[in-house]
Copies of this chain bind each other. A is one copy, B any other.
């Protein structure tokens, strides 16, 4: 669990004793492509760390799916809204390729936050990070054109395009598959 340890310490100082206490609660889990960690109307009690693999987080409203995020190596994730609020989820967490996760229950997360002030601080700072990510997402949606967002994703997370179908990327960008296809065509013409 060295990658998980490194990730935790990227947020704040954590003593070896505190780290040992925290890590005891994480369980390694292998999940197969095509399976689901979560479906709508289920409660979610787990927090995940992605060691290796890819999970898509999306909702389905009136038959059309809305991709919120793709979780890949090094991401902490869950359906954070349903997890925090303890309400039935509206989302799917679908495993896109055979993946390895570290899993911890909410009860155990609360134990580690109770256990030490430093671990509570880690909790605060990781929540801060989640906020920043979301904030940047809103900024992108409000201030950046679809075409620019597509190009930025292509640059920042190129491997996604090998790992998930394009129609999910379209949804992530807030487009239909047709819309994304048009943008790609426009760009390929411009490039000539």
Q: Tell me, in angstroms, the Cα distance from A80 to B131 when the chains sit together.
A: 9
**Chain A window 92-122, contacts with chain B (Cβ cutoff 8 Å), 1 for yes, 0 for no:** 0000000000000000000001000100110
Please state if B84 and A128 are interface contacts (CB–CB under 8 Å).
yes
Query: What's the minimum C-beta distance from A160 to chain B, rounded to whole angstroms?
Result: 18
Which of A34-42, A137-145, A180-188 interfaces with chain B? A137-145
Question: A136 — which chain B residues lie within 8 A by C-beta?
Answer: 81
Query: What's the minimum C-beta distance from A93 to chain B, rounded to whole angstroms?
Result: 15
A23 at the interface (CB under 8 A from B): no
Tier of interface size on chain A: 20 to 34
Please state if B134 and A135 are interface contacts (CB–CB under 8 Å).
yes
Number of copies: 2
Please state if B128 and A66 are interface contacts (CB–CB under 8 Å).
no
DSSP majority for the A interface? helix
Within the complex, which residue of B120, B135, B137 is in contact with A80, where a contact is CB–CB below 8 Å? Answer: B135
A174 at the interface (CB under 8 A from B): yes
A151 at the interface (CB under 8 A from B): no
Within the complex, which residue of B66, B81, B120, B135 is in contact with A121, where a contact is CB–CB below 8 Å? Answer: B120
Question: A128 — which chain B residues lie within 8 A by C-beta?
Answer: 84, 127
Please state if B68 and A132 are interface contacts (CB–CB under 8 Å).
no
Please state if A68 and B138 are interface contacts (CB–CB under 8 Å).
yes
Question: A81 — which chain B residues lie within 8 A by C-beta?
Answer: 132, 135-136
Q: Tell me, in angstroms, the Cα distance from A81 to B138 when the chains sit together.
A: 12
Question: A28 — which chain B residues lie within 8 A by C-beta?
Answer: none
- Contact A61/B127 with A80-B135, A138-B137 known, Cβ cut-off 8 Å: no
Pull 19 A–B residue pairs with CB atoms less than 8 Å apart, ordered by A: A59-B143, A66-B142, A66-B143, A80-B131, A81-B132, A81-B136, A84-B131, A117-B120, A120-B121, A123-B124, A127-B128, A127-B131, A134-B135, A134-B138, A137-B138, A138-B138, A141-B141, A141-B142, A142-B174
